[in-house]
Amino acid sequence: MIDTTFNIGSIRKDFPILNRKVNGKPLVYFDNAATSQTPKQVIDAIVDYYQRYNANIHRGVHTLSQEATDAYEEARGKIQRHFNIAKPHEVIFTSGTTHGINLVANGFSSFIQEGDEILVSAMEHHSNIVPWQMLCERTGAVLKVIPMNLEGELIMDEYHDLLSESTKLVFCNHVSNALGTVNPIDKIIEAAHGVGAAVLIDGAQAAPHIKADMQALNVDFYTVSAHKMCGPTGIGILYGKEEWLQKLPPYQGGGEMIAEVTFEKTTYADLPHKFEAGTPNVCGGIAFGVALDYMNGMGFEAIAAYEQELLDYATEKLLKIEDLKIYGTAKEKTAVISFNIEGVHPYDIGTILDKLGIAVRTGHHCAQPIMDFYQIPGTVRASLSFYNTKEEIDAMVEAVKRAKAMLL
């Protein structure tokens, strides 16, 4: 059962948007895998920044600039501690997970040669497929795919068979955004390192549910987005081992990332600034730190236990609906349910649910190869968070029943 110290009523008061109505109905927000909602503590931090100390950082001797710099770097420290990162300069601020992946892909263009092999999993988001396809086109490297089974789990025996001395990079999401599957990234990382390959883990979907430990994982790169975990959009981080970040060339050129510039030659700044060209999203970085404070205040173990109870409850209720099929039945998964009703297009279900105030995602979820694997156009995806309730799940189930009756 849920820990009684996890006060859902009190938590929901922190999210003003949950009080609004959509189409005259109370909002039920089940699109958390796309973007989580933002608590007022984070909103207040954003307002406070712009009202009291909005200034550019690292460049000014005046008070506002120093205050903004201190708050921004304090947030970097919070992120370092949250993910158990060895050194603060191994935290690179980005605009989000996609930015972090592209930064690494661009850098590895200097190292990858024709005939080298790159592995990605069959359940990747497009942002962890397309950059590697582009890298292969530039370099002549070969992209290979770790297959999955019907339950939505990677076939690890075939992964081990794909690994060879030609494998230079392995990329995998920690959690599938389309299915909720938690991948065995510890085993994936260890096996890749066994053949000398580097590993990047897309942690965007894991970070709201799992407190990943970079030292325990021994991963080379790990990326997350703040807007998946109660923070603002437009900010995220790339973790990289110092040895790799030193090897990679800068991704962008401009202010802040330089040590000295002449028209003859430019030298680059030390980490992390080498990868942080231009004026950063100062407010976003600060707010990300506040979002981590908020979630850690509840505790990730308590969050995980509550979300598991919601997942079990929703799964049981939905499966009682005749002709409803859930895609992604892995033993280890987060609170994501992708489903269809036989004979009904997912878009039509999602449209009716919206009319009833229920926000779900429909389509291929930027994971089209997964949908091709199941030979379906897409799914209805209900992704749950710690501020959702069983009563909201009941409302969704009744809405799905109503949609089915209208459409069949």
Sheet with 91-94, edge to edge strand ranges: 91-94, 236-240, 221-225, 198-202, 167-173, 117-121, 142-146
> Where does the pLDDT of residue 383 fall: very low under 50, low under 70, confident under 90, or very high at 90 and above?
very high
Residue 284: C-alpha distances to residues 55, 178, 273 (Å): 13, 26, 17
Average confidence score pLDDT of the chain: 94
Residue 273's pLDDT is: 87
> Percent of the chain, pLDDT > 70?
95
| Average pLDDT, integer, range 90-117 | 95
Is residue 95's pLDDT more than 50?
A: yes
pLDDT digits (tens, 9 = 90+) for 200-237: 999 999 999 999 999 999 999 999 999 999 999 999 99
> Where does the pLDDT of residue 137 fall: very low under 50, low under 70, confident under 90, or very high at 90 and above?
very high
> Percent of the chain, pLDDT > 90?
87
Residue 296: C-alpha distances to residues 32, 207, 395 (Å): 18, 12, 29
In the numeric block, which tokens belong to residue 308?
Answer: 């598991």
pLDDT digits (tens, 9 = 90+) for 49-69: 999 999 999 877 899 999 999
* CA 303 to chain CA mean position, Å: 17
pLDDT digits (tens, 9 = 90+) for 282-313: 999 999 999 999 999 999 999 999 999 999 99
| Average pLDDT, integer, range 124-149 | 94
Spatial separation of the C-alpha atoms in residues 19 and 390, rounded to whole Å: 17
29 burial (CB, 10 Å; 0-12 / 13-18 / 19+) is buried
Residue 268's pLDDT is: 60
Spatial separation of the C-alpha atoms in residues 382 and 395, rounded to whole Å: 12
> Where does the pLDDT of residue 2 fall: very low under 50, low under 70, confident under 90, or very high at 90 and above?
very low
- 221 bridge partner residues: 200, 240
**Angle between helices 282-298 and 300-318 in degrees, nearest 10:** 80
> Where does the pLDDT of residue 4 fall: very low under 50, low under 70, confident under 90, or very high at 90 and above?
very low
247 burial (CB, 10 Å; 0-12 / 13-18 / 19+) is middle
> Where does the pLDDT of residue 1 fall: very low under 50, low under 70, confident under 90, or very high at 90 and above?
very low
| Average pLDDT, integer, range 161-166 | 97
- 380 bridge partner residues: 339, 362
> Where does the pLDDT of residue 266 fall: very low under 50, low under 70, confident under 90, or very high at 90 and above?
low
Is residue 261's pLDDT more than 50?
A: yes
pLDDT digits (tens, 9 = 90+) for 307-337: 999 999 999 999 999 999 999 999 999 999 9
Taking Cα atoms as reference points, which of 143, 144, 133, 139 lies closest to residue 111? 139
Is residue 267's pLDDT more than 70?
A: no
Domain ranges (residues) in the chain: 8-30+300-407, 44-296
Residue 94: C-alpha distances to residues 62, 110, 141, 239, 393 (Å): 26, 21, 26, 10, 35
Is residue 75's pLDDT more than 90?
A: yes
Torsion of CA 7, 9, 11, 15, to 10 degrees: 170
Is residue 402's pLDDT more than 80?
A: yes
What's the first-to-final CA gap in the chain, in angstroms? 37
Bridge-based pairing state of the strands 28-29 and 379-383: unpaired
Q: Is the peptide bond before 208 cis (omega within 30 degrees of 0)?
A: no
pTM for the whole thing? 0.94
- 68 bridge partner residues: none
* CA 393 to chain CA mean position, Å: 23
Q: Is 230 a catalytic residue?
A: no
CATH number of 8-30+300-407: 3.90.1150.10
Residue 390's pLDDT is: 97
Residue 271's pLDDT is: 82
> Where does the pLDDT of residue 366 fall: very low under 50, low under 70, confident under 90, or very high at 90 and above?
confident
| Average pLDDT, integer, range 88-96 | 97
Is residue 21's pLDDT more than 90?
A: yes
Spatial separation of the C-alpha atoms in residues 104 and 83, rounded to whole Å: 19
Bridge-based pairing state of the strands 198-202 and 236-240: unpaired
Active-site choice (136, 172, 283, 366): 366
Query: What are residue 366's phi and psi, to 5 degrees?
Result: 55, 35
Helix/strand/coil (H, E, C) string of 308-372?
Answer: HHHHHHHHHHHCCCCCEEEECCCCCECCEEEEEECCCCHHHHHHHHHHCCEECEEECCCCHHHHH
Other residues' Cβ atoms within 10 Å of the Cβ of residue 150: 10
Torsion of CA 254, 257, 260, 262, to 10 degrees: -20
Spatial separation of the C-alpha atoms in residues 368 and 125, rounded to whole Å: 8
CATH for 44-296 (3.40.640.10, 2.30.38.10, 3.10.310.30, 3.40.50.970):
3.40.640.10
